[in-house]
Amino acid sequence: MSPKQVKTIDDTHEKALKTMAKGTGIVLVGMFIGNFLNYLTRIIIARWLGPSEYGLYNLGLAILGFCTTISLLGLSDVVTRYISFYNAKKDLEKIKGVLYSAIQISLPISFIFSIFVFIFADKISNMFHTSNLIPVLQTFSISIPFSILFLIFISSFRGFKATKYKVYSQDLLYPLSKIILTIYFIYFGYSLMGVTVSYVLSTIIATIFSFFYLSKTFHFFGTVKPKYNRKEILFFSAPLLFSGILVIILGWTDTVMLGIFRTPEEVGIYQAALPTTTILMSIATSFGFIFLPIISELQSKQKDIENIYKSVVRWIFSINLPVFLVMLFFPTAVMKILFGKDFLEASVPLLILSFGYFAYTFIVPSYSILVAINKTKLNFLAILIGAISDLILNFILIPIYGITGAALATTISIILTAIPCLIFVYYYTKSQPFSLSLLKPFVSSLIPIVIFFLIYKFFKLEYWSLFPLFLGFLIVYGLIFLILKGLNEEDLMILKSIEKKTGLEIKWIREFIKRFI
């Protein structure tokens, strides 16, 4: 390879990483705030309602998630991919055709599901042996069409790389309105129905504002005539639809089967552990949000794909690892601090689920690559393996082991989904995410977490001491990571891009890091 070709690859890689850093910097901050607010809302709801009613609330969310996924027909990733592709060509007619097609196809289906759930709420509730779920389902049904529009608009921002509007709508306005409305209804004494109504109202508010932001990005009602390509879009979305259904199975089978075979109270306890471990998933998702459109543009440049693939996995791994280890070593303290003594039984599921969602680190980037290279059927196959195993394992384990069985089933299923994704990406792109650089964050975190765990146990500290211990762990982890040269020149470039994009003054951090490279 000539020096000119090498320089071209390096330049392309650098440009893509800078774009990734700019997008991810905004999305990561936004998703951190959004996930924190959503998680805080869950804690407030769980502590206010108690395990039983909190379980009913989550069963309603499970039904809502299934209806929303079916109605969307896998079009969210399709919208992202095609808008990104046509936006690079400045083809406004086809961009408008993609947007119009997605709405025209999915919105009518969402109305059908909304009406169906409202009318047959009593029949659905009978599956869970309680009539208390009926008003919850009927209220949630109102939000289905709004959820569809909201998800399409968010996917559009992703395609346009308009990450700030995604952050404004999905990560700030939506969770902020939800927590404010939740606190309002709780303050005035409303219980389960109050928090259910707050969810619906916040969805409607977020949908309206996301449409406003989309209008600023693209002239939705402008003079440009849409050029439709529905057949290609539906053909491309079909595997993603089934993949989406399977993702719902992976995400909600444990909850639904707990409701069928056990009690709403056990559902509530389990749903204290599950969203806590999905913090690990949210880190990966924030990178995946901007990773897909970048890979879609670089799909013919194998070397760039591999370099970016390794970099993204390394970043996710380094951020997720300390969080994973805290859940692994201090599950009881984490549950007591966050949800209170009524949810201490969630400690064992928390420990088990943390393994599964840590494996999610490797799913998101590989999933995005398969979408970008038009191998969506392989994503479907990988998720099918995970979903079938999830159904079977939950069916076998939940009646015997309850919430512990649900956690085991979900963890094994996630791992069985990750393995084929990695294999498929390697087969078609000769890219794999593993490198020796992953050992540096592993060594950096394992030593201090063991030390702090022994201090916690030896001195028999109270659970609240986890806060200063965690802070000390992060400081020691960061220092060892730097001493082992866990960062490189590439990461400095990324920090500079984040600084430029966000306006944060972090030059001193870059200067400090330079000493360890």
Contact 292, 372 (CB under 8 A): yes
Residue with tokens 């992976």: 250
**pLDDT score for 302:** 64
Distance between CA atoms of 13 and 62, rounded to whole angstroms?
40
* Averaged confidence pLDDT in the chain: 84
Q: What phi, psi does 487 have (nearest 5°)?
A: -110, 160
Of 3-7, 143-147, 323-327, the range with the highest mean pLDDT is 143-147
Name the DSSP letter for residue 486. -
Least confident interval from 142-146, 250-254, 297-301, 455-459:
297-301
Regarding predicted confidence, which is higher, 296 or 101? 101
Q: With the CA atoms of 426, 428, 431 and 434 taken in that order, what torsion angle do they form, in degrees rounded to the nearest 10?
A: -20
Taking phi first (over 0 means left), then psi (-120 to 50 degrees means alpha), and beta for anything else, what does residue 499 get?
alpha
**DSSP letters along 78-93, please?**
HHHHHHHHHHHTT-HH
State the pLDDT at residue 136. Answer: 96
Domain boundaries, the chain: 3-434
Alpha carbons 82 and 97: distance in angstroms, whole number: 10
Please, are residues 452 and 473 in contact by the beta-carbon 8 Å criterion?
Answer: yes
pLDDT of residue 352: 96
Question: Which of 217-221, 292-296, 386-390, 482-486: highest mean pLDDT?
Answer: 386-390
Specify the pTM: 0.81
Binned at pLDDT 50, 70 and 90, residue 59 comes out as very high
Residue 14, number of CB atoms within 10 A of its CB: 16
Sign of CA dihedral 316, 318, 319, 321: positive
| Residues 6 or more apart whose Cβ sits within 8 Å of residue 231 | none
Both tokens of 277, joined, read 């471990």
Cβ neighbours of residue 338 closer than 8 Å, sequence gap 6 or more = 43, 272, 276
Cβ neighbours around 225 below 10 Å, total: 10
Whole-angstrom CA distances from 29 to 166, 239, 243, 308, 386 are 12, 32, 28, 21, 30
Q: Who's near 442: CB < 8 A, 6+ residues apart?
A: 321
SS3 letters across 17-74 = HHHHHHHHHHHHHHHHHHHHHHHHHHHHHHHHHHHHHHHHHHHHHHHHHHHHHHHHCC
CA distance 253 to 448: 36
Residue 110 contacts residue 145 (beta carbons within 8 Å) = yes
Instruction: Detail the DSSP E strand segments found in 171-218.
Output: none
CA 387 to chain CA centroid, Å, is 17
| Residue 24: pLDDT over 60 | no
- What is the Cα–Cα distance from 475 to 454, expressed in whole angstroms? 17
Nearest Cα neighbor of 349 from 417, 270, 290 is 270
276 or 91, greater pLDDT:
276
